[in-house]
Structure 1
Amino acid sequence: MILCRTIPELKAAVSKFKRELTEGETIGFVPTMGYLHEGHASLLRRSTKENRFTVLSIFVNPMQFGPNEDLDKYPRNEERDLALAEASGVHAVFLPSVEEMYPNRPLTKVTVSQVTERLCGASRPGHFDGVGLVVGKLFHLVQPDRSYFGMKDAQQVAVVQQMVDDLNFPVEIVPCPIVREPDGLALSSRNVYLSAEQRQQAVVLSQSLELAKKWLDEGKLTPNELLQRVQNHITSVPQAEIDYVELLTYPRLEQVPANDPISGSSPLILALAVKFGTTRLIDNTLLTFGG
């Protein structure tokens, strides 16, 4: 496994891989902010299965953090990350410093409109501009054929896919399923912030999503009725503070009529963001149904 800390080192590794590719072989890429867990490992294993070479990036991108967010406290463990990467069959890891990625404060924004205006885009203004900038930069440097993203951040997947489509990036975006703990909590690097009591209560997120699917199977509800039930279930635990609970089309993230019974064949996303103390967790499920 090649460890690259500078852009020239990464470019040299990518050039080496490209020289070794034979017809039909590809390069896969998994961009992360590190503190890797089984969710990341599932992306890496899929990439190594589907591509000749896999590149992993580990970079806590300051451009996607707001002034009052957890940039300085974001968990980091380089030694463990590299061990997981090697065990997952990664061929190169790009682990740059902030100064390497941004020698000067960037003046360029990569803004994707509409799909960034709701959910985390509304709660974290400018967040997806930072995501678009760093992902675009990494795609340019790695030049992958495929890039793998977890559906836990389904809005990020939609934003990156829209950017790729609009700018004709020659890369296939591969959405991958959410990986969960045995009790249903979605894996997240931020779970480490939870106290024991908060960790126990946080399972209300996945429980709410499962209940929503059950309620829809039992009979037709309007979005307002479904959202109210979900909100009531989440707030039944004392430490849960709702940021948002929304039902939108996916991947366009457009609003649906609030008082019309939910029906049709297009997928909808039920997306949640909830704080437990200072820890903000997100989760979602895609809903498909007959109509």
Structure 2
Amino acid sequence: MKILLLAFQFLTIIPVRVKGAVTEKEVGRSGLFFPLVGAFQGIIGALAMFLLVLLFSVPVACGLVVFILIATNGGFHLDGLADTFDAIAVKSTGNRTEDRQKRLSVMKDSATGAIGVTAIVMAVLLKYLLVSSLFEKYDAMSAVYLVFLMPLFSKWSILPVMFHGKPARDEGLGRIFVDGTTRAVLLLSTLLLVVIYVFAALLSSMIDLLPSINFLIVSGLSLYAFSLLWSLFCSRRFGGLTGDTIGAAGEIGDLLFLAIASLWF
């Protein structure tokens, strides 16, 4: 129960209180419940979308839902995305060790640079356009269903990043989560993703089970491949993962899932 509460504490703005002392091991293993937190955020997004499309035009409703989903985690992932892209933009001096240290220093700086701001704007704009495109291609209920699935998949996609990655620093949340994401944690989180997805598919009357299973496989494999590539990229660019690069992975995972969904049905 404690690691479940920790997962909500780290991924949402819900004022969760965790009783007793918390160990680094418990914090690291809280990733097991990231898909469940994603499902919770997905329910909020889907309910908001269902209600808002009754009150506003689809473009306005999509914009409000994107804002609501960002608000559920306090913009944590967008902040990580901005810091990561600011660090990526650091010009190379030809010395890999010095370059990595400089990038990590930029990433740790609380000030957001022009590249970071651009990354935030582009990410939010792309998410808005992709969510809106769901309503252009499919019926409203299918689009709402996909809005529910988006954070479920993107939060799960963080687990392979942490499993395959290594920490860039000897301290910080990045190291704690990387060390805590064991093979068992990854497998159990994947099982949790499948259980939630199949349960949601069975409850959904507009999508029969077989295409849903195919979509689960394709989306899961695509996001896993992205996670692996992202961890390798961060290893080369920064020497490993940080809390910011992990948060950025979740934000990019949202966009990748929406792109797959827009092309699928």
TM-score after normalising by structure 1: 0.28
Higher strand fraction: Structure 1 or Structure 2? 1
Tell me which of the two structures has the higher relative contact order, counting C-alpha pairs closer than 8 angstroms and 6 or more residues apart: 2
